[in-house]
Structure 1
């Protein structure tokens, strides 16, 4: 069992930290909103701390799951930050979906202080976090990964080292590129079936058993057809992720015409007031031009 700390208790971090505690690890948590940290401790029985620095003191492994690059820097640096309290040879594992640049930056900052860093964004959404079946894509040193991987198994079904620092974030970008195109195609398919007067349930139940099958189809076609969009990963978050993807593509020269178009479709959903809808809400653009 490991001495751990978890920084950031949003819809993902809250259950992930809970799985660590349930597996018998020592867990101290920090959240920007203290009430959420207190609610976590009441539910799972762990400890809370008033700053990241105090949360990580004595921890062998520190996990972070916050909003973006700036949020990550705000909890890592400074007198009250993670680095100020991180023990020698400890490992900082970042589950935030952030840029590959900030991952490399934090890997250097940790290395200069004799600490270790792994960028480890996740896929699987809120349900995956709650059920402990996330896919975790990691970048970092092999030795540090070997120490952290068994602990991440508390909430990860697949935990894979993809390469050096930044590789986890780059892999997550590939994941989001795939998802964006799939969701738009599914939205168009559902809308087409409805416009054609077909029994949409029967159509999608049938084709989901063939070559058109995908996780999005299996889990979102029915709620998409019903116009229900309250299932976790929000449009606002997806646009944040796609901005990271498109920025990286501008640097590496990758052509992403479909991804860029889907990003604008999500912008239209935001303009319709759907920023907090889940990502399957792309269909609203087809129903409400």
Structure 2
């Protein structure tokens, strides 16, 4: 397919690379043009100066940018992609954004004769690099079926969760679950440290039982060593949790633990950890120990 990809950050650069490796004709755009130029030098394809220029003649345009405002800018803003897309082309948004903006853009796209799918991802940079992301989609089934073969280039799992906005709602549920898991893991490791347990041994044993999780397997040991210079940044998690809490207020859902963990992450930010991995939540519990390395 002819695919345009907008946003070559931590996740997007790997996702676009997998598309090119799968044989798709990929054109890229990035707000910082030098990053796009370097990507083309490494992976081939073409560079576009604006989202609109990128969108011309593409079967699919994908985006992985920062937030609602960024998505609106690259779709319906000046030089946005929507105005230049061919009728029946599909815009797939991999940004973690609000369900409201997904629904709004779906309606706008439909009015222009386009298709829109909200398709946030989970799996972090490691999942993007390896091409094993989980992709949660919202939109029309026919458009999803047309876009799925391209998404499969960087996905281990890709599923249509419902109408427009359902992908973003599913990603919210994902982030809510992660927030609680990381806090519980932080407390379990902190407890083991203060009790004098061999934390590495504890993690080996507990990970084989009902308490085992991706977070324990992939972050437990680095949390114990106070290593947080990698992975999904605290400031990004706070952005995501803000979306979750706003949606919960709108729908009437009760998220007491999520709200509390969001405040805990605020404490980590105030301590200088906005770019630390989300596992740095443990630093609140052991400010004189594991939090020192950052």
| Superposition TM-score, scaled by structure 2 size | 0.97
Segments of 5+ residues of structure 2 without an aligned counterpart are 289-294
Question: Equivalent residues in 2 for 1:1-289 (5 A)?
Answer: 2-288=1-287
- Confirm or deny: 8 A CA contact 1:78 1:84 kept in the other structure: no
The whole-number CA distance in structure 2 between the counterparts of 1:156 and 1:203 is 32
**Hey, which bits of structure 1, 4+ residues long, moved more than 2 A?**
none
Question: How many residues in Structure 1 have an aligned counterpart in Structure 2?
Answer: 288
Q: Report Cα offsets for 1:48-81 as digits up to 9, x if no partner.
A: 0000001111100110000000011111113411
Q: Report Cα offsets for 1:165-198 as digits up to 9, x if no partner.
A: 0000000000000000000000010011010011
Secondary structure of 1:213's counterpart equals: coil
The whole-number CA distance in structure 1 between the counterparts of 2:136 and 2:230 is 23
Q: Name the counterpart of 2:291.
A: none
Secondary structure of 1:287's counterpart equals: coil
The whole-number CA distance in structure 1 between the counterparts of 2:211 and 2:21 is 38
- Confirm or deny: 8 A CA contact 1:30 1:52 kept in the other structure: yes
Secondary structure of 1:50's counterpart equals: coil
The whole-number CA distance in structure 2 between the counterparts of 1:153 and 1:102 is 24
The whole-number CA distance in structure 2 between the counterparts of 1:240 and 1:25 is 32
The whole-number CA distance in structure 2 between the counterparts of 1:46 and 1:271 is 42
The whole-number CA distance in structure 1 between the counterparts of 2:54 and 2:278 is 33
The whole-number CA distance in structure 1 between the counterparts of 2:104 and 2:37 is 32
The whole-number CA distance in structure 2 between the counterparts of 1:80 and 1:278 is 34
The whole-number CA distance in structure 1 between the counterparts of 2:84 and 2:227 is 44
1:288 Cα deviation (Å)? Answer: 1.6
Segments of 5+ residues of structure 1 without an aligned counterpart are none
The whole-number CA distance in structure 2 between the counterparts of 1:80 and 1:223 is 43
The whole-number CA distance in structure 2 between the counterparts of 1:71 and 1:62 is 15
The whole-number CA distance in structure 1 between the counterparts of 2:262 and 2:61 is 33
The whole-number CA distance in structure 2 between the counterparts of 1:231 and 1:186 is 18
Q: Report Cα offsets for 1:152-173 as digits up to 9, x if no partner.
A: 0000000000000000000000
| Superposition TM-score, scaled by structure 1 size | 0.99
